[in-house]
């Protein structure tokens, strides 16, 4: 029998998490980042075609209105996100923000970890200074499911993720550490391009976001 949302073991505690987040404090949710944050991903049979942020927003807005602004845009590097999305997000004044950034930097010929970290630091630091709970998402360990992709940009992935964790530690931000999640070894959480999650991947990212929020409220 094929996996569905109802039988997926990673989603087993969704109902309990939704109850824990009833009446949660957040009212203004901002999403910043690249194509994953934007919501790209292929359909998965048995799973709703709903992005991770739509799922999170639906749970948080069950008892009160939550204003969602998704500033994310595909193909952007961390510096672009800092320059084009951060000002608008800061003006919006979120009390909750989620950031997925740095993936496009990995595929550039000259990957500069220090520069990417500086951009992440500016984004997360600014949002935290504005009073937002911030969640940064590390990128998934695709090689654990598709070993033939090892090398090149994938060798840089742990570096980016470690820089992301370090920035979060400095600013008291939360980390959704997708890189170490056991789903990474399962092929059906990745779209055919091996860069974006499927709708199953989105569902799992959403529940991990909810888990962090339930612990943080």
**pLDDT at 72 (0 to 100):** 98
Calculate mean pLDDT across residues 10-35.
97
Whole-number Å distance between alpha carbons of 79 and 93 = 20
- Give the C-alpha separation, 203 to 54, whole Å: 10
What is the distance between the alpha carbons of residues 21 and 217, in angstroms, rounded to a whole number? 8
Q: What is the pLDDT of residue 214?
A: 97
pLDDT at 155 over 80: yes
Q: 86-145: per-residue pLDDT in tens?
A: 999 999 999 999 999 999 999 888 899 999 999 999 999 999 999 999 999 999 999 999
pLDDT band at 152 (very low <50, low <70, confident <90, very high): confident
With CA atoms as reference, report the closest residue to 86 among 67, 102, 66, 71: 71
Residue 30 has pLDDT above 90, yes or no: yes
pLDDT at residue number 107: 87
Find out whether 56 and 18 touch, Cβ atoms under 8 Å.
Answer: no
Tokens of 8: 């997926």
Q: Which of 1, 6, 50, 2 is nearest to 201 (CA)?
A: 50
């Amino acid at each position: 029998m094929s996996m569905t949302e109802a039988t997926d073991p990673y989603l087993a505690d969704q109902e309990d998490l939704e109850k824990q987040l009833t009446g949660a404090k957040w009212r203004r949710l901002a999403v910043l980042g690249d194509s994953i944050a934007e919501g790209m991903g292929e359909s998965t049979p048995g799973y709703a075609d709903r992005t991770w942020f739509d799922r999170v927003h639906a749970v948080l807005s069950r008892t009160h209105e939550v204003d969602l602004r998704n500033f994310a845009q595909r193909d952007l590097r961390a510096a672009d996100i800092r320059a084009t999305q951060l000002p608008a997000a800061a003006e919006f004044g979120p009390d909750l923000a989620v950031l997925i950034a740095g993936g496009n930097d990995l595929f550039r010929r000259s990957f500069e970890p220090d520069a990417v970290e500086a951009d992440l630091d500016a984004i997360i630091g600014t949002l935290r200074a504005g009073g937002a709970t911030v969640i940064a998402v590390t990128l998934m360990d695709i090689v654990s499911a598709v070993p033939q992709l090892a090398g090149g940009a994938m060798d840089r992935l742990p570096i980016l993720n470690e820089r992301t964790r370090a920035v979060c530690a400095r600013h008291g931000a939360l980390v959704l550490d997708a890189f170490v999640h056991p789903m990474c070894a399962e092929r059906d959480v990745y779209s055919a391009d091996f860069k974006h999650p499927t709708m199953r991947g989105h569902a799992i990212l959403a529940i991990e976001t909810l888990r962090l929020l339930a612990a943080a409220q």
